Amino acid sequence: MRILLVDDDRELVDLLTFAFGRAGFDVLPAYDSPSALHQLEHGQPDLAVLDVTMGRWDGFDLLREMRRRSDLPIIMLTARSSEDDKVRGLDLGADDYLTKPFSHRELIARVRANLRRRGHDTPARDTAVAPLQVGPIDLNPTQHVASIDGRPLDLTVTEFRLLHYLMTNAGTVVPTRAVLKHVWGYDDPGGTDVVRVTVHRLRRKIEPDPGNPQLLHTVPGVGVMIKPKL
């Protein structure tokens, strides 16, 4: 497996290249946007790890362009703790994110989980493939389409997987760690923020008033539930 590693910190790239190499991966290093896009086009990576804070290079613009050219899994690295930045990155097509500082083992575990997940075409490995309906939302897993009140929903791959898993368990509060395991492919308490941010992003796409949700509900400290609005 080839990992496209994009960061303008050459020392960090060297350290991660060594860690990935020991874990059995080949690394395609890139230190700026032009070299990242070149590696994307010619290096045939299986997954990209992208730092969105790269000095004079706007990592978000690069993320947008990478997603326009490819659907490979992208893990976003950020030193920014703002939820708005995380939501922005996920909105632009990142599949997962880690906030610096992070451990090499955690990053490699996320990489493996995303690669395993990409090996499955259905939105979740053990859920049904029949069309689903919850209130105004219709979802067809085999055609990979979803709509609300007949209007197509523009969802990322991760958003679609999340919506499918929650609709399969409609009316039930699904524990956050179960969502993380089935949608992202790993069970790590440190990844629960990814669930929270992605739920927030999905809510903005299906709720007329995201601040007063009628369909997608979060039970603090427990999990997430989707149910028809009353």
Q: How far, in Å, CA of 212 to CA of 210, rounded? A: 5
pLDDT recorded at residue 107: 93
> Sign of the CA dihedral 215, 75, 178, 155?
positive
Q: What percent of the chain has pLDDT over 90?
A: 53
pLDDT, greater one: 185 or 206: 206
Structure tokens that stand for 26 in this block: 């080949």
Q: Letter for the amino acid at 43?
A: G
pLDDT in tens, 89-110: 888 888 898 888 888 998 999 9
Give mean pLDDT, residues 199-214. 91
Residue 123, pLDDT score: 41
| The pLDDT value given to residue 80 | 66
Amino acid sitting at position 156: T
- pTM (two decimals): 0.73
Cα–Cα distance between 155 and 130 in angstroms, integer?
19
Six token digits for residue 6:
């994009």
- How do the domains of the chain map onto residue ranges? 2-118, 132-226
| Average pLDDT estimate for 144-169 | 93
Are 76 and 97 spatial neighbours (Cβ–Cβ below 8 Å)?
Answer: yes
| pLDDT given at position 27 | 96
Instruction: Give the model's confidence band at 119: pLDDT under 50 very low, under 70 low, under 90 confident, else very high.
Output: low
In this structure, which topology does domain 2-118 adopt according to CATH? Rossmann fold (3.40.50)
- CA within 13 Å, CB half, 85: 16
Q: How confident is the model at residue 135 (pLDDT cuts 50, 70, 90)?
A: very high
- DSSP strands (E only) in the chain: 2-6, 26-30, 47-51, 53-54, 57-58, 74-78, 96-99, 132-134, 137-140, 145-148, 151-152, 174-175, 216-219, 223-226
105-112 long-range contacts (CB < 8 A, ≥24 apart) are 106/188, 106/190, 107/16, 107/19, 107/49, 107/75, 108/19, 108/20, 108/23, 108/25, 109/186, 109/188, 110/75, 110/186, 110/191, 111/3, 111/20, 111/25, 111/47, 111/49, 111/75
Assess whether pLDDT exceeds 90 at residue 85: no
Q: Which of 20-29, 99-108, 124-133, 170-179 has the lowest mean pLDDT?
A: 124-133
User: The domain 132-226 is classified under which CATH number: 3.90.1150.10, 1.10.10.60, 1.10.10.10, 3.40.50.800?
Assistant: 1.10.10.10
**Which tokens is 11 given?**
């020392």
Token look-up 């990242």 returns: 36
What are the backbone dihedrals phi and psi of residue 55, each rounded to the nearest 5 degrees, phi first? 60, -125
Q: What is the pLDDT of residues 21-72, one digit of tens each?
A: 999 999 999 999 999 999 999 999 999 999 987 767 778 899 999 988 988 9
CA separation for the pair 201, 216 (Å, rounded): 11
